[in-house]
Amino acid sequence: MPSYFTSSPGKVILFGEHAVVYGKVATAGSLGLRSYALIQTREDKKIEVNLPDVQLARSWNINDVPRQARWEGYPYPPQSMNTDLLAQLTKFVDLGSQTNRSQAAIALLYLHSFLTTDETLVRGYDFVVRSNLPVGAGLGSSASYSVCVATALLQLNGYLSAGKGLDVAAQRDLVNQWAFQAEKVIHGNPSGIDNTVSTLGGAVMFRKGEKIEPLPGFQSLRFLLTNTRVPRETQVQVANVRKLHDKFPTVVNPMLDAINEISNSCKDIFSQDGLDRAHLLARFGELVDVNHGLLAALGVSHPSLEKVREISSKLGLKSKLTGAGGGGCALTLIRDDVSSETVVVVKQLLEAEGFQCMETSVGGPGAGILTLTHPTTIAEFLAHEKSYFEATQNWAYFV
């Protein structure tokens, strides 16, 4: 029976928070924290779904799930969302419409309705996902899940096989487009940035209304990611910046322009020939400092975020908020010359404040597939430590 692991990273905003709302450039990168999925066929015509991170364990008869007829543009997604299908699936899943687990289940079954082939329909499949990404922290956990779903269903149903004639770039695009559909199910009107970063990996630059472009020459960087555990209120922070902008446009617009130039300067750093890594990291750290200062001036920092900066700066490290601010997460750049002892001390000091710290990287690979040589069980999959998947070799990435 076909069995596959799929994997995809979360994302962080490196530069450009809030300014992107006003048409400025922002920069985002893939996180070393990832989601991992198992998908494999079974022989009882059931879909067995287990998502422990959102407390979902359900089973459905595969023939009870609505299925879509072939559409124009197949196998790429239809141009518009099928709202009738969404209503059917919401009723079918019967978990309410606004919970993390109901949205995760509906997103899976929405893609299933389009992508499941006759061969899979007569068998059924297991689908299990585990994630290292905290839910609701602004780190692209839903996009990472969506990319895992899209990759898994496309692989299981043969859309990514060599016989389909798609090169790697076309496979990557197919995964990204279907992941975007799943993100629409979950969020309604997402930007597409999160699923693109999760699919492609590396780093991207983006401007509202324009094509998302990879950041050329980007090198993987080490960070300490700190979750302050202060709930984010993205809409509140965006609204507060809007009020400040409307009140003092001649003051705020130059600040937004400066944030725009930080992303452009980041691009210049990585495209500059002959710049050794030590100088690259030093200049990147300076941009981290400046970007946070501008965001704080816009009023979107928080005492918890300033505490992260205070603690890390005492040990010579640069930190900034990532995302909407007002709480949420902070990134601390770990240069190559920073000792492991220093990182341990910083983590201890931050955790003493009640924060959650995770060492990770930014700019690693995107979506991946691992073909299993023999079937496993849901219990075996769940029994593995998450580090097991990170250490597993022979992942095939869309690069």
Residue 142 annotated in active site: yes
> Residue 15, SS3?
strand
Confidence of residue 16 (pLDDT cuts 50, 70, 90): very high
The secondary structure of residue 22, as a DSSP letter, is G
As a whole number of angstroms, the longest Cα–Cα distance in the chain is: 66
- Domain pair 3-216+366-397 / 221-362, same fold: no
> Residue 356, SS3?
strand
pLDDT at residue 137 above 90?
A: no
- Note the pLDDT of residue 397: 74
pLDDT at residue 352 above 90?
A: yes
Unique residue bearing structure tokens 């124009």: 72
CB 241 within 8 A of CB 256: no
The secondary structure of residue 21, as a DSSP letter, is G
pLDDT at residue 392 above 70?
A: no
Q: What's the distance, CA 32 to chain centroid?
A: 10
CB 333 within 8 A of CB 362: no
In sequence order, what are the beta bridge partners of 203? 29
pLDDT at residue 163 above 70?
A: no
Least confident range from 28-42, 337-351, 365-379: namely 365-379
- Note the pLDDT of residue 385: 67
Q: Would you tell me the crossing angle of helices 100-115 and 141-156 to the nearest 10 degrees?
A: 30
Q: Domain 221-362, CATH 3.20.20.70 — does that match?
A: no
**% of the chain at pLDDT higher than 70:** 95
Q: Could you give phi then psi for residue 337, rounded to 5 degrees?
A: -90, 5
Catalytic one of 30, 141, 194, 198: 194
- Note the pLDDT of residue 82: 93
- Note the pLDDT of residue 398: 67
Catalytic one of 142, 146, 198, 263: 142
User: In CATH, which of 2.60.40.3500, 3.30.230.10, 2.40.50.140, 3.40.50.2300 is domain 3-216+366-397?
Assistant: 3.30.230.10
Tens of pLDDT, residue by residue over 79-135, are: 899 999 999 999 999 886 667 889 999 999 999 999 998 888 889 999 999 998 887
Confidence of residue 70 (pLDDT cuts 50, 70, 90): confident
- Note the pLDDT of residue 387: 66
- Angstrom distance (rounded) from CA 49 to CA 35: 15
Tens of pLDDT, residue by residue over 47-56, are: 999 999 888 9
CA dihedral for 305, 32, 213, 6, sign (positive or negative) = negative
Confidence of residue 386 (pLDDT cuts 50, 70, 90): low
From residue 13, give the alpha-carbon distance in Å to each of 55, 167, 183, 270: 28, 29, 18, 17
- Note the pLDDT of residue 218: 92
- Note the pLDDT of residue 197: 94
pLDDT at residue 255 above 70?
A: yes
pLDDT at residue 10 above 80?
A: yes
State mean pLDDT over 280-292: 97
- Angstrom distance (rounded) from CA 26 to CA 194: 13
CA dihedral for 143, 148, 154, 160, sign (positive or negative) = positive
The residue extents of the domains of the chain are 3-216+366-397, 221-362
Closest CA to 103 of 25, 187, 201, 35: 187
State mean pLDDT over 16-29: 93
Tens of pLDDT, residue by residue over 301-319, are: 999 999 999 999 999 999 9
Confidence of residue 399 (pLDDT cuts 50, 70, 90): low
pLDDT at residue 375 above 80?
A: no
Residue 257 annotated in active site: no
Tens of pLDDT, residue by residue over 29-40, are: 999 999 999 999
Confidence of residue 28 (pLDDT cuts 50, 70, 90): very high
Token pair belonging to 272: 């500059």
Confidence of residue 232 (pLDDT cuts 50, 70, 90): confident
- Note the pLDDT of residue 284: 97
- Note the pLDDT of residue 383: 79
Q: Could you give phi then psi for residue 323, rounded to 5 degrees?
A: 95, -150
Least confident range from 157-171, 264-278, 351-365: namely 157-171
